[in-house]
Amino acid sequence: MTKRTATAGAAAGAELAAQTAIAALGWLAADAQRLSRFLALSGLGPDNLRTAAADPRFLAAILEYLASDESLLVEFANDAGRSPDDVARAHAALRGPEGFDP
């Protein structure tokens, strides 16, 4: 595999991971209780949520939030037609190789 092919593959993986996180955010937003709890824990409000969603670190934090609650993770994965492992891989792709503390 060439460096260019690896870079293209990583970019495609990051895009799919971002799509998973955006789907997760939409899923959270579809239920007032889930969204309220997420906003309370994240410190965000409805007014700055859209801006935050443009930040890949925030997208990783959404998936971190889901991963911190197995029942929530499984419910999202089932509703989204994904496996919990898919969500975990998306989270890893958004965190990057060094990771960070969201």
Q: For 72-97, how does the pLDDT look when each residue is reduced to its tens digit (9 = 90+)?
A: 999 999 999 999 999 999 999 998 76
* Cβ-proximal residues to 17 (8 Å cutoff; 6+ apart), any chain: 59, 63, 89, 90, 91, 93, 94
Distance CA 88, CA 77 (A): 10
Distance CA 85, CA 83 (A): 5
Residue 47 lies in a domain: yes
Q: Looking at the 3D structure of the chain, how many domains does it have? A: 1
Residue 33 lies in a domain: yes
pLDDT digits over 19-49, tens only?
Answer: 999 999 999 999 999 999 999 998 988 888 8
Q: What is the pTM (predicted TM-score) of this model?
A: 0.80
Query: What's the token pair of residue 24?
Result: 């997760």
Distance CA 63, CA 87 (A): 7
Residue 14 lies in a domain: yes
